Amino acid sequence: MAEWSTTWTWFDGAWHEGNPPIMGPRTHAAWLGSSVFDGARAFEGVTPDLDLHCQRVNDSAVALGLKATKSVGEMMELTSEGLGKFGPGTPVYIKPMYWAEGDGIGTIAGDPETTRFCLCLFEAAIAPKDASMSVTLSPFRRPTMECMPVNAKAGCLYPNNARAIVEAKARGFDNAIVLDMLGNVAELTTSNVFMAKDGVVHTPAPNGTFLNGITRQRIIGLLRKSGVEVVERTLSYREFQEADEIFSTGNYNKVVPINRIETRDLQPGPFAARARELYWEFAHG
Ligand code: PMP
């Protein structure tokens, strides 16, 4: 059996500790993957952009053909209540989820009228300030909207990301740069990706194939406000291989520099450090 860090889940009107059963063998989501989720963070007593993450899970639900049954305000109140069960300052992953319980059209669609909700909070350390990771080019690609529901943060998108990170780890890398179907850089398997060249920061322009991360958008705004030029455009893998600096952004660990791309070592650079510093200032502000 898996071991769980301290976990509290609001489900069916009550808080449950540990890993309560929320699905059965007839649950549509357990069978056919009709689930969406979002991930926000509590750390050092703050929950930056929690409202945006709650709004996004509602948007994801609708995009996947489910019903958004909880308001952003209700989710935020529940989060605040649930965080009270953890020690002050505990780093917590905040995961609201929706899924279909019953079968819908053609059985393969979930029935939106049976949408269920839970809010799962669990203790999860955030990467330390000096963390960094290596990346390689993934042989796998991000799907387009024609292939997968990329407009939702849906569980069904993650087995593709999972095989990409597993393949990268097997070759000795921590993560992988994943291209879109046109061969341009999309993101990492778990977060968005930025690079710097000659004093300018660049990141792939959202083209619908990857998550336009809430942390990504926040960091772009903070860097620009501080006077840094940030360009969102089409980027090739080669540009990353020749970059002065590469870093990732995502809710889980916020900003993490890349220390190696293929065989080329990189130093954690000043833009990643600045982005992290600005994010922490914003989070505590
Ligand atoms: N891409 C993927 C595949 C992710 O799983 C995440 C984490 N949610 C991100 C990007 C970053 O998005 P955000 O900043 O909204 O967490």
Per the structure, the count of domains in the chain is 2
CA-nearest residue, atom 10 of ligand 1: 191
- Contact criterion met (CB below 8 Å) for 115 and 122: no
Same structural domain for residues 80 and 198?
no
* Residue-level pLDDT at 77: 98
Counting residues of the chain whose pLDDT is more than 90, the rounded percentage is 99
Same structural domain for residues 102 and 188?
no
* Residue-level pLDDT at 2: 79
Q: Is 39 in the pocket of ligand 1 (CB under 6 A)?
A: yes
Same structural domain for residues 149 and 175?
yes
Task: Quote the tokens at residue 43.
Answer: 């750390």
Q: Is residue 64 part of a domain?
A: yes
Express each pLDDT in 187-218 by its tens digit. Answer: 999 999 999 999 999 999 999 999 999 999 99
* Residue-level pLDDT at 179: 98
Same structural domain for residues 78 and 149?
no
Q: Is 276 in the pocket of ligand 1 (CB under 6 A)?
A: no
Same structural domain for residues 110 and 164?
no
Select from 60, 211, 214, 220 the residue to mutate for testing ligand 1; criterion: most ligand atoms less than 8 Å from CB: 211
Cα torsion through 146, 65, 116, 158, rounded to 10: 10
Q: Specify the ligand 1 atom closest to the Cα of 158.
A: 3
Same structural domain for residues 147 and 215?
yes
CATH number at residue 165: 3.20.10.10
- Contact criterion met (CB below 8 Å) for 193 and 210: no
Same structural domain for residues 52 and 156?
no
Select from 53, 188, 190, 210 the residue to mutate for testing ligand 1; criterion: most ligand atoms less than 8 Å from CB: 190
- Domain limits at 82? 7-123
Express each pLDDT in 221-234 by its tens digit. Answer: 999 999 999 999 99
Model confidence at 266, pLDDT cuts 50, 70, 90, reads: very high
Same structural domain for residues 118 and 225?
no
Q: Is 192 in the pocket of ligand 1 (CB under 6 A)?
A: yes
Question: What mean pLDDT comes out for the span 125-137?
Answer: 97
Single residue among 123, 143, 158 that ends a domain in this structure: 123
Mean pLDDT of the chain: 97
pTM of the model: 0.97
Same structural domain for residues 22 and 118?
yes
CA-nearest residue, atom 1 of ligand 1: 191
CATH number at residue 39: 3.30.470.10
Same structural domain for residues 269 and 146?
yes
Same structural domain for residues 262 and 138?
yes
Q: Is residue 119 part of a domain?
A: yes
Express each pLDDT in 65-95 by its tens digit. Answer: 999 999 999 999 999 999 999 999 999 999 9
Task: Quote the tokens at residue 225.
Answer: 């406000």
Single residue among 81, 100, 123 that ends a domain in this structure: 123
CA-nearest residue, atom 5 of ligand 1: 190
Can you give the three-state secondary structure of 96-157, one letter per residue? EEEEECCECCCCCCECHHHEEEEEEEEECCCCCCCCCEEEEEEEEECCCCCCCCCCCCEHHH
| Res 1 pLDDT > 80 | no
Q: Is residue 128 part of a domain?
A: no
Task: Quote the tokens at residue 70.
Answer: 């909880």
Query: Distance, CA 254 to ligand 1 centroid (Å)?
Result: 10
